[in-house]
């Protein structure tokens, strides 16, 4: 009979992260720490072994056998990210492999009724060409060594939640912020970038040229609460629906902004996910107990992680997106309301 784990989802990956951070990124030391802290046969120890890779330690090639443990733990953690991110919760997206060219019909296709013996009309088709090269999002979470070395199970929950939030925030801002015009070969533009804002909800629906029956609305919780009324009783801070369309809530969407999206017109590709550890970087700490001096966002006031006895956890995710069918996104800007 197989055992059932009572640990929360993402706990194994989090423990591996903790061990790797305590070991300052050294995988062999991380294995020793995982074995000492959670046991030599624990899932965290198996993942730490798998991360070392086959043949890097004397005595065999068990790394290949354990590779599935690392992949499973990583996939479980990033499934939690998906459940909280806009991309992960938006059903119907046109998901495709990275670096794979796809051709789709984006206009001009119509159907006709044809009478017996009559010529069959032909409509011209307009094709779109989509290619998503890999782009990498990196979310940095800074934790103190005291938190990493704490034996209190609550500490692991704090680290897990902070890591998830960091990745979700990085993804959601890049995906939905109209100010994100993208960076060539680095970061895709947001799906709302360059979209002409509509004046209000009625205009948003009127101007929208995507498939309204497949569309979703994206906004933040404060905006959702402000819209809740006798006219719109089904929208709450957790989502719900507005004018019959499902609502996705993200704290990374600016208050007052509302996006109307046809997911079938958005191409998304996802690839490798992983984690790196740094103890040497210098980062600007805003409103942090690690840095009491005010900072101005220009990088002029920095905290060295080593000097602050802290560790930077960098979660990486290969992902890219593109509005594959024009008109698939409508948008209300807070300033237009």
Counted domains in the chain: 3
The answer on 239 and 207 residing in a single domain is yes
The answer on 114 and 36 residing in a single domain is no
Confidence (pLDDT) at 287:
47
Residue 79 included in any domain: yes
Residue 178 included in any domain: no
Confidence (pLDDT) at 307:
77
The answer on 50 and 71 residing in a single domain is yes
How far apart are alpha carbons 203 and 326 in whole angstroms?
18
Q: Which two tokens stand for residue 141?
A: 């979470």
Residue-wise pLDDT tens for the chain (337 aa)?
Answer: 444 456 789 999 999 999 999 998 899 999 999 999 999 999 999 999 988 863 343 333 434 445 678 889 999 999 999 999 999 999 999 999 997 766 655 555 566 677 667 776 665 544 555 689 999 988 888 999 999 999 888 999 999 999 999 999 999 999 999 999 999 999 999 999 999 999 999 999 999 999 999 999 999 999 999 999 999 999 999 999 999 999 999 999 999 999 999 999 999 999 988 888 888 777 766 544 444 444 444 444 677 787 788 899 988 899 999 999 999 999 999 876 5
Residue 174 included in any domain: no
Residue 102 included in any domain: yes
User: Would strands 216-219 and 245-249 be described as parallel, antiparallel, or unpaired?
Assistant: parallel
Alpha helices in the chain (DSSP H): 11-22, 27-38, 43-52, 62-84, 86-89, 145-148, 153-176, 201-207, 221-227
pTM of the model as a whole: 0.82
Residue 160 included in any domain: no
CATH number at residue 225: 3.30.2320
Residue 292 included in any domain: no
Confidence (pLDDT) at 82:
94
The answer on 73 and 107 residing in a single domain is no
How far apart are alpha carbons 273 and 71 in whole angstroms?
9
Cα dihedral sign, 83-84-86-87: negative
Residues 6+ apart with CB under 8 A from 258: 201, 204, 217, 218, 219, 223, 331, 332
The answer on 326 and 215 residing in a single domain is yes
- DSSP reduced 3-state for 45: helix
The answer on 105 and 16 residing in a single domain is no
Cα dihedral sign, 271-274-278-282: positive
> 25 lies in which domain range?
11-84
Residue 117 included in any domain: yes
Confidence (pLDDT) at 286:
57
Residue 249 included in any domain: yes
């Amino acid at each position: 009979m197989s055992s059932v784990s009572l640990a929360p989802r993402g706990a194994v990956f989090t423990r591996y992260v903790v061990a790797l951070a305590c070991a300052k990124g050294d995988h062999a030391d991380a294995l020793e720490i995982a074995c000492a802290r959670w046991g030599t046969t624990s899932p965290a120890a198996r993942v730490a072994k798998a991360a070392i890779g086959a043949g890097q330690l004397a005595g065999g090639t068990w790394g290949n056998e354990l590779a599935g443990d690392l992949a499973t733990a990583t996939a479980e953690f990033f499934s939690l990210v998906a459940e909280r991110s806009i991309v992960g919760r938006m059903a119907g997206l046109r998901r495709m492999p990275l670096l794979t060219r796809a051709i789709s019909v984006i206009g001009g296709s119509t159907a006709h009724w044809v009478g017996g013996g009559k010529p069959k009309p032909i409509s011209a088709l307009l094709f779109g060409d989509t290619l998503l090269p890999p782009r990498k999002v990196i979310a940095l979470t800074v934790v103190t060594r005291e938190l990493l070395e704490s034996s209190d199970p609550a500490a692991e929950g704090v680290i897990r939640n902070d890591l998830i939030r960091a990745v979700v925030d990085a993804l959601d801002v890049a995906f939905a912020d109209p100010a994100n015009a993208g960076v060539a070969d680095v970061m895709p533009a947001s799906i709302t970038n360059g979209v002409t804002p509509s004046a209000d909800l009625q205009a948003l629906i009127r101007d929208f040229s995507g498939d309204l029956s497949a569309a979703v609305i994206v906004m933040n919780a404060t905006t959702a609460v402000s819209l809740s009324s006798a006219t719109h009783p089904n929208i709450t801070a957790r989502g719900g629906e507005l004018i019959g369309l499902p609502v996705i809530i993200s704290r990374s969407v600016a208050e007052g902004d509302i996006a109307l999206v046809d997911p079938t017109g958005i191409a998304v590709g996802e690839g490798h996910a992983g984690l790196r550890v740094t103890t040497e970087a210098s980062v600007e700490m805003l409103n942090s107990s690690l840095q009491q001096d005010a900072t101005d966002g220009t990088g002029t006031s920095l905290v060295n992680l080593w000097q602050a006895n802290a560790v930077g956890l960098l979660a990486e995710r290969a992902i890219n997106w593109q509005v594959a069918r024009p008109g698939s996104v409508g948008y209300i800007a807070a300033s237009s309301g």
